[in-house]
Amino acid sequence: MIPRTVFEEEHEMFRSSVRRFLEEEVMPYHAQWEKDGQVDRELWRKAGAQGYLVPQAPEIYGGAEADFRYNAVIDEEVSRSGCTGLGWGVHSDIVVPYLMNYGSTAQKERYIAACVRGDIVTAIAMTEPGTGSDLQGIRTTAIADGDDYVINGSKTFITNGQHADLIVVVCKTDPGAGAAGTSLIL
């Protein structure tokens, strides 16, 4: 064995609590959720109450301002449990970071705390039926019209797609401009 040195003692304590939560609140129900095709929505709120969603979020938005190793601990424990129905990784590691890094103050105030609590579940919609690897080739458009964007197109393989309250949609705001015409819209 090569001992792992990346984690501190507090990460390992956190790990024990995540593991216990998964054993008590997730594993006994996962088989049923597989039949249902989705996990119980309430689980998101339970996980949020424990601080297992977006631990890196700023304290002013209800987060723990934890370093990414806490996300890694959650990812590892979820993976270890074999409970593949949990879309927490997409939510915490991928989508909410877009809000944290590129959102306006108004957007952050409106959404991040609810994402930490599990009241808002997020998803990201990049892939389309006609294009996945070639992200520059997306065809969904968002055309400005007065105070709105009007979105047309379709997206596929969207993790958390059923539970999602907030989706980051990758669209073309300037369909002629290739990558430079691509924008992210909530």
Partner 1 sequence: MKAQDTSELFFSDVRVPKENLLGEEGKGFAYLMQELPQERLSIGIMAMAASHTVLQQTIDYVKERKAFGKPIATFQNTQFKLAELDTELTSAQVFMDRCLELLVQGELDTVTASKAKLLGSELQCRIVDECVQLHGGYGFMWEYPVARAFADSRVQRIYGGTSEVMKLIIGRSLIAD
Ligand X SMILES: Cc1cc2nc3c(=O)[nH]c(=O)nc-3n(C[C@H](O)[C@H](O)[C@H](O)COP(=O)(O)OP(=O)(O)OC[C@H]3O[C@@H](n4cnc5c(N)ncnc54)[C@H](O)[C@@H]3O)c2cc1C
Could you tell which of ligand X, partner 1, none binds residue 5, using a CB distance below 5 to 8 A set by kind?
partner 1
The amino acid at 112: I
Q: Which is nearer to partner 1, 59 or 145 (CB)?
A: 145
What is the DSSP track for 68-108?
HHHHHHHHHHHHHHT-TT--HHIIIIIIHHHHHHH--HHHH
Question: By CB under 8 A, which span of 16-24, 57-65, 112-120, 162-170 interacts with partner 1?
Answer: 162-170
CA distances from 88 to 43, 52, 79, 184 (A): 11, 8, 11, 21
The site for ligand X (CB under 6 A) is made up of 90, 123-127, 131-133, 157-159
Of the residues 19, 30, 46, 139, which one makes contact with partner 1 according to CB under 8 A = 30
Q: Which is nearer to ligand X, 18 or 123 (CB)?
A: 123
What φ, ψ does residue 185 adopt, rounded to 5°? -130, 140
Q: Which is nearer to ligand X, 132 or 178 (CB)?
A: 132
Stretch 72-101: interaction string toward partner 1, x if CB under 8 A? x--xxxxxx-xxxxxx-x---xx--xxx-x
> Rounded to 5 degrees, what angle do the CA atoms 50, 125, 51 make?
5
Contact between residue 122 and residue 163 where contact means Cβ atoms under 8 Å apart: no
Query: Which residues ranging from 42 to 71 are in contact with partner 1 (CB under 8 A)?
Result: 67-69, 71
Residue given tokens 């049923």 in the structure block: 32
Minimum distance from residue 124 beta carbon to ligand X (Å) = 5
What φ, ψ does residue 171 adopt, rounded to 5°? -135, 165
Minimum distance from residue 117 beta carbon to partner 1 (Å) = 19
Q: Which is nearer to ligand X, 37 or 146 (CB)?
A: 37
Of the residues 36, 42, 65, 109, which one makes contact with partner 1 according to CB under 8 A = 36
